[in-house]
Amino acid sequence: MAPKLKIDPPLLNSACPWSTTLEDIKALYDSPHTGAVTIRTSLLEGFSHDDSIHQYLFFTPGKTIPSKPPKGEDSKPTSKSAPSEPISTLNTLGYSPLTLSEYLGIINEIVGQRHLGTDTPTKKPFILSVAGTPDEIAMAYALIANAAEMDEDLRLAMEVNLSCPNLKDAPPPAYDPAQLAEYMEAISDSKSTYRGRMAGPESVPKVGIKLPPYTYVSQFENVVAAMRKAVSTEPGEGCVLDFITCTNTLGSSLLLDSDLNPVLNSEAGTGIGGLAGAALHPLALGNVATFRRLLDQHDETTGVAIIGVGGVEDKAGFERMRKVGAQAVACASALGRYGVAVFERITKGD
């Protein structure tokens, strides 16, 4: 079965703080080195972001963090940092303060400029990362599908974030097989509803799920089993998912400063958050490799693409991800560290 998702070149950003604003998204869209743009995870009604609670930090694994270090953009390594120095991030972020509808408006504005002949002439896919209950995900798909139906210039996909580790009393649904099944059912129903209304199969917005890092085989097998049960009613199409994104940040991670206090604040007040960047890379590679092997064992799932994420910031990291089965490779921490220029850096091997 041929892969269901086409991203060319196979390089993009993952949902992150650096894909939040119109300026962020337009810069990613205009880069000739990105094959798609992923929007920061949004909710139908927006998220109450609070800078005093929802934070992030760049750091070098194995090095002591000074007392009261700069956070957010102020924590980004300077140009004096050694280029080969491995950089990771820890974050206690939630979702975007902008709503899904606001992001659809931003996309319309960016793509609309194409008609004026002023910007990127190619049609590049936008992946809208969303979160919420299964019913809210169904509503989100309806908004995205309606937007795609109204403007044939929009190439839209939906990524359901089932893996944010930072929300108090809201553990990632992707760790729970019962919850995962509920989301798969909502996705299946949504795609079935809109299939008959769209111009053709290719115009139906693609759907994927963003998964957390898994650490033992039964976790991977539970996900693949849920995917095998969620089969499209369309003959020969297989699983209703077009792609999976793995991995999100590794939760339950903590940094202490030189005074042995938590470096970041968090909703729970513990400073525990999600780990990303260089420290996550080996686990991310293992997740991509394991999922590719398991997905390829079954006719229903062999066509599901994988977007590999985790610690890629150069051409070698990109090639490692591709080698283990990622159809496309995405960056977050490296985007925050280097800006949009990181995609040229990866492409050319600088």
Across 85-102, average pLDDT? 96
Looking at the DSSP bridge assignments, the partners of residue 43 are 99
- Please report the pLDDT score of residue 82 as a whole number: 52
The pLDDT tens digits of the residues spanning 126-177 come to 999 999 999 999 999 999 999 988 887 789 999 999 999 999 888 899 999 9
Tell which wins on pLDDT, 334 or 193: 334
By mean pLDDT, which of 88-97, 161-170, 228-237 is the weakest?
228-237
The mean pLDDT value of the chain amounts to 92
Residues 6+ apart with CB under 8 A from 300: 227, 228, 231, 238, 239
Per domain, the residue ranges of the chain are: 11-40+91-249+279-348
User: With respect to CATH, is domain 11-40+91-249+279-348 assigned 3.20.20.70?
Assistant: yes
Q: HSE on the CB side for 260, CA within 13 Å?
A: 0
Percent of the chain with pLDDT over 70: 92
| d(C-alpha 55, C-alpha 170), whole Å | 18
With CA atoms as reference, report the closest residue to 205 among 36, 11, 330, 21.
Answer: 36
What is the pLDDT confidence band of residue 196, given thresholds at 50, 70 and 90? low
- Please report the pLDDT score of residue 286 as a whole number: 98
pLDDT surpassing 90 at residue 115: no
Residues 6+ apart with CB under 8 A from 286: none
Dihedral pair phi/psi, residue 167, rounded to 5°: -95, 125
By mean pLDDT, which of 105-114, 139-148, 249-258 is the weakest?
105-114
H-helix or E-strand containing 305?
Answer: strand 305-309
